Structure 1
Amino acid sequence: MPDLTLDELARILRDCAGEGESAGRDGEFADLPFTDLGYDSVAILETAARLKQEYGVVLTDDEVMEIGTPGRLLELARRQIAGAS
């Protein structure tokens, strides 16, 4: 399984949003709220489903909605991936 990087998370977010969002184009991406990046709750929940499918990351809907930023999502996902190894 490949490492989950910020660039990979940005790709998944863009795929799930169905648009050419600006995810991952600058260093501030990780710390910006999903809403500021233009991602709605449906895109974030779909991203969580993709993380489960591709990386085995399991997050509840409540966890996903409370995460807030791509950086925090990446941190939680990496923690789960590391724990599963």
Structure 2
Amino acid sequence: MNITELTALLRECAGADEMVDLEGDVLDVPFADLGYDSLAVLQTTGRIERDYAVSLDEEAVAEAETPRAYLEIVNSELSSRTGA
């Protein structure tokens, strides 16, 4: 999963703050600064788990404060699932 896919899912699951440019370099911007709270991240996590048939570590997801950290968790799980 890449940042474009993640931001699209965030928008679908929780909407988007019109004041935040999700098209920019947001990998290291905290979710809170992007207008997403823990519930938004939780909703996105549920969607990823359903769409990709994976189970993400709840503690790790809760500690991921930026899209980069979140993507590392997601991609690690996706890689282990496919054996890549």
TM-score, reference length from structure 2: 0.83
Instruction: Flag structure 2 segments of 5+ consecutive residues without an equivalent.
Output: none
Q: Determine the structure 1 residue equivalent to 2:22.
A: 24
Structure 1 residue 49, shift from structure 2 partner: 0.3
Q: Determine the structure 2 residue equivalent to 1:13.
A: 10
Q: Determine the structure 1 residue equivalent to 2:67.
A: 70
For 2:66 and 2:53, the matched residues in 1 are separated by 20
Contact 1:13 1:23 in 2 (8 A): no
Kindly tell me the number of residue pairs found equivalent between the two proteins.
80
Structure 1 residue 68, shift from structure 2 partner: 0.6
Contact 2:31 2:66 in 1 (8 A): yes
Structure 1 residue 23, shift from structure 2 partner: 5.9
1:15-61 deviation digits (Å, cap 9, x = unpaired): 111x233463112x110110011101110100110110112332243
For 2:2 and 2:58, the matched residues in 1 are separated by 22
TM-score, reference length from structure 1: 0.82
